[in-house]
Amino acid sequence: MLEMMIGDLVQFVILWVIILLTFTCVGQLLFNQLPKFVDFTSVFFMYFDSSLGNWDATAYTGKDIFDEPMLIQ
């Protein structure tokens, strides 16, 4: 019984890391002009924090093509 629970936990962690890596790659490709999305590790840890419930919308703020500030409300 304990072995099955550990196996399920390992399977969950593997899927969770694969999903985090996917979101990290896509987020870095889409938002590479924003200061929080500079390198792979900072984006990965930002999404890791978000998946644990520490979601901060200010990471997605910046300037648009007309140099006007974009704010998420």
Domain count, the chain: 1
DSSP-assigned letter for residue 3: H
Q: Quick check: 63 and 70 in contact, CB under 8 A?
A: yes
pLDDT tens, position by position, 14-37: 999 999 999 999 989 988 887 778
Give the residue numbers spanning the domain of 17: 2-70
CA-to-CA distance for 4 and 9, rounded, in angstroms? 9
pLDDT tens, position by position, 38-61: 889 989 998 998 898 887 777 777
Residue type, 44: F
Look at residues 64, 67, 45 and name the one whose alpha carbon lies nearest to residue 56.
45
pTM of the model: 0.72
Q: Quick check: 40 and 28 in contact, CB under 8 A?
A: yes
